[in-house]
């Protein structure tokens, strides 16, 4: 069959691109070798956030007495939480299938391989397309640590299938994935230790945000060993080296969360001469175009951003360019969230990033605890909101928050950044009272 647009991979880049191109009148093929929704829906964002919510609900019930809620004999039923997780995933998959049907996207199940001049081979059948979007996602990058293939050692996919709680979970890697699972397991009473090779967890965040997240998770019962490089894993122990020398921890479940790598193998890309960068990602310009005309890429396969919402936006940019609307990626206004308790939500530059670009900045910072709604709802949490402005123009450059459910507020700051608002324009925006979002208005009072 001959298509206008073929999409390889049905994750948050693929299904968004397919729907958008089809609604613009293109004849669209969507190829998927596993399940609709990709890693985000089946092995990542959606199941992990559902389990995190289950753990949060348990913790709230257990610690509800400050609100006057006394619950006798509260207990956590992990298999039931998994059932809810599976129901959510099924519902969302049905939703995507319905969307594709509505927009008359042809879905083919199978593994696609690209041949020169754009025939696409899927399980022995060949299709053609004028433009192709490669959005095959990423997989956990497993370091060559001896013992990493033992049965009790899992990656971020494997841990989602475990329905029994361990006694001691050791997490290798204090990045976003490591922190989210550490929070989930610690919240339901499991002993959790995170071993992070760097001097701080989530090293890509504002350093004060990382430190505050670590404090918050420590209060939830997570132990962090920083500067700890894992050397080997045995049936019941994890061996690591830090400043004090060689150490060992007992563990009956080990999560390896040391980053991800783009999925570029077995697609015929080498034969096509596709440009791959040093970190294994498909090299694209800011429209998503590769070095081969008509071949585009979006999402984790590019090795950029590693975020589901970034993948969807990259896909929209590609489709806009194919359908005649100029568009490009703007990573400086890409929000990022860590869905722990407390949550982290950030958008834009940190002070350090802005200064490295030679920009003179002004910084404002206020504790979340000045906000009435926040302390009413989060009696045991601290956290803060920090804003970065360009010194001369007072243009907003970044907002960095830790505390409560700040994931639900970062969209407001993202819209301000995307529309390049300045302090005086933000002052004119009315925030409903009492809401935690008022913190984003009040933080400007503290700019120095």
Task: Measure the CA–CA gap between 311 and 40, rounded to whole angstroms.
Answer: 10
92 or 391: CB nearest ligand NAI: 92
Beta strands in 211-360 (DSSP E): 222-226, 229-233, 237-242, 245-250, 253-256, 260-262, 295-297, 336-338, 344-348
Q: Beta 253-256 vs 153-154: how paired, if at all?
A: parallel
Q: Which is nearer to ligand NAI, 63 or 309 (CB)?
A: 309
Q: In terms of CB distance, is 89 or 105 closer to ligand NAI?
A: 89
DSSP 252: S
DSSP conformation class of 276: B
Query: Which C-beta is closer to ligand NAI: that of 34 or that of 309?
Result: 309
Task: Bin 348: left if φ > 0, else alpha if -120 < ψ < 50, else beta.
Answer: left
Q: How far is CA 439 from CA 417, 430, 432, 433, in A?
A: 16, 12, 11, 11
* Structure token digits, residue 309: 């919402």
Task: Give me the residue whose beta carbon is nearest to ligand NAI.
Answer: 175
CB of 336 to ligand NAI, least distance (A): 6
Provide the token pair at 155: 């990656």
8 Å CB contact between 13 and 299: yes
Q: Which residue, among 368, 333, 362, has the nearest Cα to 348 in the 3D structure?
A: 333
Least gap, CB of 300 to ligand NAI (angstroms)? 8
Compute the least distance from the CB of residue 159 to ligand NAI, in Å. 12
- The closest of 145, 113, 110 to 32, measured between CA atoms, is 110
- Characterize the bridge pairing of strands 168-172 and 253-256: parallel
- Summarize as ranges the residues that interact with ligand NAI (CB under 6 A): 143, 172-178, 180, 195-198, 203, 229-230, 257-260, 306-307, 336-339
Closest to ligand NAI by CB, 105 or 256: 256
Report the alpha-carbon distance of residue 215 to residue 177 in Å, rounded: 17
Give whichever of 225 and 321 is closer to ligand NAI, judged by the CB atom: 225
User: Which residue in 63, 84, 152, 433 is the catalytic one?
Assistant: 433
Distances (CA, A) of 15 to 40, 118, 260: 12, 20, 21
Assess whether 309 carries a catalytic annotation.
no
Q: How many Cβ atoms are within 10 Å of 28's Cβ, its own excluded?
A: 27
CB of 259 to ligand NAI, least distance (A): 4
Rounded Cα distance, 348 and 417, in Å: 7
Tokens 């400007």 correspond to what residue?
A: 444
Question: Closest approach of Cβ 153 to ligand NAI, in Å?
Answer: 13
Select 259 or 367, whichever has its Cβ closest to ligand NAI: 259
Provide, rounded to whole angstroms, the least separation between the CB of residue 410 and ligand NAI.
11
User: Smallest gap, in angstroms, from Cβ of residue 334 to ligand NAI?
Assistant: 11
Q: Which residues are catalytic, by number? A: 433
């Amino acid at each position: 069959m001959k298509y206008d647009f073929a999409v390889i991979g049905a994750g948050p880049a693929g299904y968004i691109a397919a729907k958008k191109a089809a609604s613009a009148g293109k004849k669209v093929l969507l190829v998927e070798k596993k399940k609709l929704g990709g890693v985000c829906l089946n092995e990542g964002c959606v199941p992990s956030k559902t389990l995190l919510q289950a753990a949060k609900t348990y913790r709230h019930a257990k610690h509800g007495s400050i609100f006057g809620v006394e619950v006798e004999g509260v207990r956590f039923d992990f298999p039931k939480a998994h059932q809810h997780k599976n129901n959510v995933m099924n519902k969302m998959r049905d939703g995507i299938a319905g969307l594709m049907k509505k927009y008359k996207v042809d879905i083919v199940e199978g593994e696609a391989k690209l041949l020169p001049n754009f025939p696409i081979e899927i399980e022995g059948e060949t299709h053609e397309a004028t433009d192709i979007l490669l959005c095959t996602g990423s997989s956990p990058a497993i370091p060559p640590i001896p013992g990493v293939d033992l049965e009790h050692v899992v990656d971020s996919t494997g841990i989602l299938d475990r329905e029994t709680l361990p006694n001691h979970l050791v997490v290798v890697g204090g990045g976003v994935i490591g922190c989210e699972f550490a929070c989930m397991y610690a919240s339901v009473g499991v002993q959790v230790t995170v071993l992070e090779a760097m001097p701080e967890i989530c090293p890509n965040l504002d350093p004060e945000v990382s430190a505050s997240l670590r404090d918050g998770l420590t209060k939830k019962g997570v132990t962090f060993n920083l500067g700890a490089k894992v050397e080997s894993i045995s049936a019941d122990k994890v061996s690591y080296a830090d400043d004090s020398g060689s150490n060992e921890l007992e563990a009956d479940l080990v999560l390896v969360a040391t980053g991800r790598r783009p999925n570029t193998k077995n697609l015929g890309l080498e034969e096509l001469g596709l440009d791959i960068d040093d970190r294994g990602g498909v090299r694209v310009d800011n429209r998503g175009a590769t070095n081969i005309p008509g071949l585009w890429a979006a999402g984790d396969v590019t090795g950029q951003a590693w975020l589901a919402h970034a993948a969807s936006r990259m896909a929209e940019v590609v489709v806009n360019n194919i359908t005649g609307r100029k568009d490009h990626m703007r990573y400086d206004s890409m929000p990022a969230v860590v869905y722990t308790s407390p949550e982290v939500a950030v958008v834009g530059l940190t002070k350090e990033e802005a200064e490295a670009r030679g920009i003179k900045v002004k910084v404002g910072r206020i504790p979340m605890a000045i906000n009435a709604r926040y302390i009413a709802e989060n009696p045991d949490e601290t956290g803060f909101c920090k804003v970065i402005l360009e010194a001369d123009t007072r243009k907003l450059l970044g907002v960095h928050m830790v505390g409560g459910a700040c994931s639900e507020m970062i969209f407001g700051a993202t819209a301000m950044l995307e529309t390049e608002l300045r302090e005086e324009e933000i002052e004119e925006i009315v925030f409903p009272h009492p809401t935690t979002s008022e913190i984003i208005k009040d933080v400007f009072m503290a700019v120095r």
